[in-house]
Amino acid sequence: MACTKLTSMRVSRLLLSALALTVAACSDKSASPAPGEPVTIVFKHGKLFGDPRAFDALIKRFEDNHTGIRVRTESLPASSDEQHQFYVINLRAASADFDVMALDVIWVAEFARAGWLNDLTETFVPADRKNFFKGPLAAIRYQDRTYAIPWFIDAGVLYYRKDLLAKYEFEPPRTWEELSNIAAAIKQREPGMYGFVWQGKQYEGLICNALEYIWSAGGDAVRDGRVVLDSPENRRALGFMRALVHERGISPELVTTATEEPSRRIFGSGKAVFMRNWPYAWTLFEQPNSPVKGKVGITALPHFSGHDSAATLGGWQLGVSKYSRHPKEAAVFAQFMTSAEALKALALAYGLNPSRRTLYDDPDLIAAQPHMAQLRATFEHARPRPVTPQYVRVSQVLQSEFSAVVAGLKPPEDALASAQHQVEAILKR
């Protein structure tokens, strides 16, 4: 035993010397390469689910076409919060370790304000801009300059069991009342089924869900720079959300803890009539062993009568770090990754919906995803969450308040009044 401990002391001393050496050796302050040597840029992005070969092939194609640039890709965990935290820590320390980043649509204004993004107004030329959906175009601007290029897009859609609706002779609902009635009717006749599952956990997804009710009731969170949370339309919307769970029993209580995957799994095992989710779930429902294969339809989300359907905009954009040592090359890479060719490859390989509207007529993409037309219609009208540098902070307030409503702890009036007060204070700063 004594020998082991002596060895451990020696090992400790060894490690200390190793440390000294490593500090010298691992110093990653890469000097600028000699002219003629290729430049290496780092592309930091959230994990893409699926076979990495398609992605690697895309990168290789870029490198082949741009012999002076080498690209190294680094994955971050897919969780938006974890990525946000990573970027905040790194960019606050002015880290030069990555050049191109994939940004969640709600971060762009915030990062631009913090001075972490390069101005890409010159790179993302107006002639190309009209090829993209309007929603992301609004989200990437801050003080009339552009700070990111839209990469891929997401928006909320309504999934429904077309077999059940056909069986009981219902059409897909257009209003929330219709959805509620249809769900109630089918629930009665199909025991053990949930009516409608969605994401009600206290997290960002809850805001995406809630805004869809709010907007489709004619309300809003921020309009023309003014906070309009405390309004009769919003009260109606939140009241309806709460009623879904607590009064009408259309949605099971577990939606108050559901995120995308749990709700997807419940619907995918055939236990729900309706689901609100992002378009990604469709491909999973059409897998060979899926219990709901061939039984699922997609349509636009319902609305309150007298208003229009609304879908919250999601998706990711590509930005260039202010601290990048190779901003020009990074911008070139960002342009490539958002080109029609790259977006199509990513759509086919990973099911990521392109942010270019022109691709939605592409026959290959339509073959892979039969709902392209419906998705295009939804994406055309997808609305971004309030575009302000303070959005993430505002979202924290809204998450608290909306979660209290959905959990039945606070009536919508109180929650909205409190939210109005807090958000006004935040946006004033």
Partner 1 sequence: MKRLGFYAGLILVAGYCLAPVLWQLITSLRPAPELTALPPLLPSRVTAEHYAAVFAGHPFGRIILNSLIVSAGATLIALGFGSATAFALAKLRAKGQAVILGIVLATSMFPPIATVSPLYIVVNALGLRDTLIALVIVYAGLALPLAVWVLTNFMRQVPDELYAAARVDGATPLQAFYRVMLPLSAPGLVATGLLVFILSWNEFLYALTFTATTRSRTIPVGIALFPGLHEIPWGEIAAASLVVTLPIVLLVLLFQRRIVEGLTAGAVKG
Partner 2 sequence: MIMSLRALAAKPAAFLAPAAVMLAAVTVYPILYVLWLSLQRHSLIAGPASFVGFDNFARLIGDGRFWNALANTVYFTALSVAGELMLGLVIALLLAHAFRGYGTMRAITLLPWAIPTVVAARMWEWMYNGDFGVINYLLGTDVNWLGSPVWAIHAAIAMDIWKSTPFVALLLLAGRLAIATDLYQAARLDGAGPWALFRYVTLPLLRPLIFIVLIFRTIDAFRVFDAIYVLTGGGPANTTETVSIYAYKVLFQGLEFGYGSALAAAVFVCVAAITAVYVWLLRRSLA
Residue 169 backbone class (left: φ over 0; alpha: ψ -120 to 50; beta: rest): left
Q: Kindly tell me which of 276 and 410 has the beta carbon lying closer to partner 1.
A: 276
Residue 395 binds: one of partner 1, partner 2, none (C-beta under 5 to 8 A by kind): partner 2
- Alpha carbons 145 and 260: distance in angstroms, whole number: 33
* HEC-encoded secondary structure of the chain: CHHHHHHHHHHHHHHHHHHHHHHHHCCCCCCCCCCCCCEEEEEEEECCCCCHHHHHHHHHHHHHHCCCEEEEEEEECCCHHHHHHHHHHHHHCCCCCCCEEEEECCCHHHHHHCCCECCCCCCCCHHHHCCECHHHHHHCEECCEECCEEEEEEECEEEEEHHHHHHCCCCCCCEHHHHHHHHHHHHHHCCCCEEEECCCCCCHHHHHHHHHHHHCCCCCCEECCEECCCCHHHHHHHHHHHHHHHCCCCCCHHHHHCCHHHHHHHHHCCCEEEEEECCCHHHHHCCCCCCCCCCEEEECCCECCCCCCCCEEEEEEEEEECCCCCHHHHHHHHHHHCCHHHHHHHHHHHCCCECEHHHHHCHHHHHHCCCHHHHHHHHHCCECCCCCCCHHHHHHHHHHHHHHHHCCCCCHHHHHHHHHHHHHHHHHC
- The answer to the question of residue 425 lying near partner 1 (CB under 8 A) is no
- Alpha carbons 22 and 26: distance in angstroms, whole number: 5
Token couple for 184: 């109630």
**Minimal distance in Å, beta carbon 8 to partner 1?**
5
Residue 202 binds: one of partner 1, partner 2, none (C-beta under 5 to 8 A by kind): partner 2
* Candidate residues 232, 291, 370, 408; the one interacting with partner 1 per rule CB under 8 A: 291
Residues engaged in binding partner 2 (CB under 8 A)? 12, 81, 84-85, 88-89, 92, 110, 113-114, 194, 200-203, 252-258, 262, 265-266, 269, 271, 389-390, 392-393, 395-396, 399-400, 403-404, 406-410, 429
Task: Please count the residues of this chain forming the interface with partner 1, following the rule CB under 8 A.
Answer: 53
* Candidate residues 260, 329, 362, 401; the one interacting with partner 1 per rule CB under 8 A: 260
Q: Kindly tell me which of 99 and 104 has the beta carbon lying closer to partner 2.
A: 104
Q: How many CA atoms lie within 13 A of 100 on its CB side?
A: 29
**Minimal distance in Å, beta carbon 332 to partner 2?**
28
**Minimal distance in Å, beta carbon 277 to partner 1?**
8
**Minimal distance in Å, beta carbon 340 to partner 2?**
34
* Candidate residues 101, 105, 281, 404; the one interacting with partner 1 per rule CB under 8 A: 281
Q: Kindly tell me which of 14 and 409 has the beta carbon lying closer to partner 2.
A: 409
**Minimal distance in Å, beta carbon 156 to partner 2?**
20
Q: Kindly tell me which of 23 and 127 has the beta carbon lying closer to partner 1.
A: 23
Name the one residue in this structure whose structure tokens are 């897919």: 78
Identity of the amino acid at 195: G
**Minimal distance in Å, beta carbon 48 to partner 1?**
6
- The answer to the question of residue 70 lying near partner 1 (CB under 8 A) is no
Residue 261 binds: one of partner 1, partner 2, none (C-beta under 5 to 8 A by kind): partner 1
What is the total residue count of the chain? 429
Residue 284 binds: one of partner 1, partner 2, none (C-beta under 5 to 8 A by kind): partner 1
**Minimal distance in Å, beta carbon 3 to partner 1?**
9
Residue 294 backbone class (left: φ over 0; alpha: ψ -120 to 50; beta: rest): left
- The answer to the question of residue 23 lying near partner 1 (CB under 8 A) is yes
- The answer to the question of residue 261 lying near partner 1 (CB under 8 A) is yes
- The answer to the question of residue 12 lying near partner 1 (CB under 8 A) is yes
**Stretches 48-56, 159-167, 366-374, 378-386: which one binds partner 1 (CB under 8 A)?**
48-56
**Minimal distance in Å, beta carbon 256 to partner 2?**
3
Q: Kindly tell me which of 78 and 166 has the beta carbon lying closer to partner 2.
A: 78
- The answer to the question of residue 75 lying near partner 1 (CB under 8 A) is yes
* Candidate residues 41, 43, 48, 111; the one interacting with partner 1 per rule CB under 8 A: 48
Q: Kindly tell me which of 11 and 138 has the beta carbon lying closer to partner 1.
A: 11
Identity of the amino acid at 36: G
Question: Which residues are near partner 1 by CB under 8 A?
Answer: 1-2, 5-6, 8-9, 11-12, 15, 18-19, 22-23, 26-29, 46-50, 74-79, 82, 85-86, 89-90, 92-93, 95, 97, 260-261, 264-266, 268-269, 278, 280-281, 284, 287, 289-291, 352
